Structure 1
Amino acid sequence: MEVIERTPPGEPDAVPDDLDREIIGELQRDGRISFEQLGAAVGLSRPAVSARVARLQRTGVIDIVAVVHPEVRGLTASAHLFVEVNADAAAAAAAIAAMPQAPFVTVTAGRHAVMAEVRVAGPAELEAVIGEIRGLPEVARLELLTGVRRLKHPHLPAAQASLPALDEADRRMLAVLERAGRASFAELGQNAGLSPAAARTRTLRMIDAGVLRVPAIVRPQALGLDVLCGFAVQLDSERRAVEEALVADPAVTFLSACLGRADLVGTLATDSLSALRLALDTVRGMPGVVAVESWLHLDVVKERYDADLPGMSLLEPGRPAAAGVQAR
């Protein structure tokens, strides 16, 4: 399996041009699209588009990996934490980011210094993890919103009423795809003890069932979206119309329905502060919106939903990873 050497973001060839952005858009929709199809979509030959994708990966602009539905790991409960710190916001964020239950941690400018998302197996574990965070010496106090429905996410598969049962071969293929989203069906089959045809059938079945997505994971700044803003919305009885409008808004990259002091929590990504002001005014002006709180994300300390999180293996406890799988 190919190991990609990365060059630091910010080097000259790390800046995407217009064709790169077209390629990124196609890969965000389907990270496993063939180079022939991708080239046809953007008007390039197969070798030319292959070289551009390799450069985008090498320079860290994109990473193409599978993102698995949280419930595959038994993660059925989530919460959004608003953390006040004793002094050092970066230290508090780092302490929370060290916890495998926290896939997303950011330092913010606003009423709270740090925000985090936690995902766990159920209410009892959620209570325990929140208690552990409250006990960190860097944390002064915290508030939380309990997640009840994921409405929009840039990476995770759409929420499903139920997921199909997975066997060991399925999970071994998922473990490979989480590290190399464009691994061939031959590679997937070899690691799962299946033929390439069987690996193809199973992979497409899991994608169709919402078990996983294979998108291009993109740094927003690479697309010129330098301003990231979180927001929390209080609603009156007109909930569904607001939810649908926010999900349809391209500036809204994440949205979750919650229980607590707000009904919705989300993220806006824009290319400037003036564009952010307009986006927030749009949210405030929606019928049914009672109040909006917002904050800037100054430093995204952690955003990971993959197999490298300790304790989050897709394989059975104590079982080794599939032979031949290499991290990229």
Structure 2
Amino acid sequence: MLDATDAALVRELQHDGRVSYQRLSELLGISREAARARVQRLLQRGEVRIVGIVPPAAAGITAVAHVSMDVAGPSGPVAALAARRRAASFVSCTAGAQSVLAELRVPDDAALEREFTALRAVPGVRGLEVFRCAELVRDAYSPEVAGGRPGPPPELDAADRRLIGLLQLDGRASFAVLAEAIGLSQPATRARVLRLLDGGAVHVTGLVESRALGVREAAGVGLGVRGPVRSVADAAAALPGVNYVATGYGRFDVVCGLDAPDRSALLAGLEAVRGLPGVARSESWVHLEIVKESYTYDLPIR
């Protein structure tokens, strides 16, 4: 569990993963050396990872779906095989109607159908239930939702794509390291990085290990809605503990993700979502084990 200073440090890193140690010192009222030492300790312990998050559009991602898998036998081997799919950004073993949940992010509907076919062929999978995302309303890490600038991302050349690839691995890599990796001068590299950040092509943030924040429980809930779907989605996104909201079609009208410090708080969060005006039905599941959670894309180099 983070102390108050580390928690404040993490909030600043989530807002701007490349914030300077000097700026952290000024914001937190500690020395520059103390700020540096605390950040390094968080990174070494694995409690925080500083990475570049790319908007799906910049990576050519236009199709997103949640797939619930009906499994005969143990769920672990099925989840492990699903996690090996490059299209899978999130995979978990769940307690609920289905045993395994996966989120798929792919370029188009044809690629999505290929992923469905591959998952149906996994040994132990008896069938799939699909929620096709239409709009992402809230996502803790998406630059399109969490602080990204409006409008399409800037056009990317080969050097830009290499830079983004490096930032996805290490969001705090120095301009000197980045410049050497792509073969440009430090001033030219700095200008490119700032253009990519300002244009919303990449958002550098701190991904925090849930238990470091006191999060012990995580769940999802799918909603069937009466009337306008977006109003229910917006209301859900404003609730405490809700970290993900998407509208769509298929199995549900809205899917939400929640986290909480304990089981009673999780139940309170689920009840708040279920009680929203316009919710006609709900189905929830608890994430027993998150097998994969990845926000890294392979950017095609034109």
Band the TM-score falls in, shorter-chain normalisation: over 0.9
2:298 counterpart of 1:316? no
Aligned to 1:290: 280
Q: CA offset at residue 194 of structure 1?
A: 3.0
2:135 counterpart of 1:149? yes
CA contact (8 A) 1:148 1:258 kept: yes
Unaligned runs of 5+ in 1: 1-14, 318-328
Q: CA RMSD in A?
A: 1.7
CA contact (8 A) 1:170 1:192 kept: no
Q: Structure 2: which amino acid aligns with 1:296? A: V
Unaligned runs of 5+ in 2: none
Deviations 1:198-252 (A, max 9, x none): 3223222222322111111111111001110111111122333322222223411
Aligned to 1:6: none
2:83 counterpart of 1:97? yes
Q: CA offset at residue 315 of structure 1?
A: 5.2
Aligned to 1:8: none
Q: CA offset at residue 161 of structure 1?
A: 5.2
CA contact (8 A) 1:227 1:273 kept: yes
Q: Structure 2: which amino acid aligns with 1:300? A: I
Q: CA offset at residue 17 of structure 1?
A: 1.8
Q: How many residues align?
A: 298
Deviations 1:147-182 (A, max 9, x none): 111111122221665332100111111121111101
The structure 2 residue matched to 1:193, chosen from 150, 162, 183, is 183
CA contact (8 A) 1:156 1:212 kept: no
Q: How does 1:185-224 map to 2 (within 5 A)?
A: 185-224=175-214
- Give the TM-score normalised by structure 1: 0.86
Q: CA offset at residue 84 of structure 1?
A: 0.9
SS at match of 1:183: coil
Q: CA offset at residue 139 of structure 1?
A: 0.8
Q: How does 1:230-309 map to 2 (within 5 A)?
A: 230-306=220-296
261-270 or 294-303, larger mean C-alpha shift: 261-270
Structure 1 distance, partners of 2:143, 2:91, is 20
2:38 counterpart of 1:48? no
SS at match of 1:108: strand
SS at match of 2:81: helix
Structure 2 distance, partners of 1:161, 1:261, is 30
Aligned to 1:226: 216
Q: Structure 1: which amino acid aligns with 2:44? A: R
Structure 1 distance, partners of 2:27, 2:70, is 47
Q: How does 1:69-148 map to 2 (within 5 A)?
A: 69-148=55-134
CA contact (8 A) 2:75 2:99 kept: yes
CA contact (8 A) 1:257 1:264 kept: yes
- Give the TM-score normalised by structure 2: 0.93
Q: Percent identity?
A: 39
Structure 2 distance, partners of 1:30, 1:244, is 25
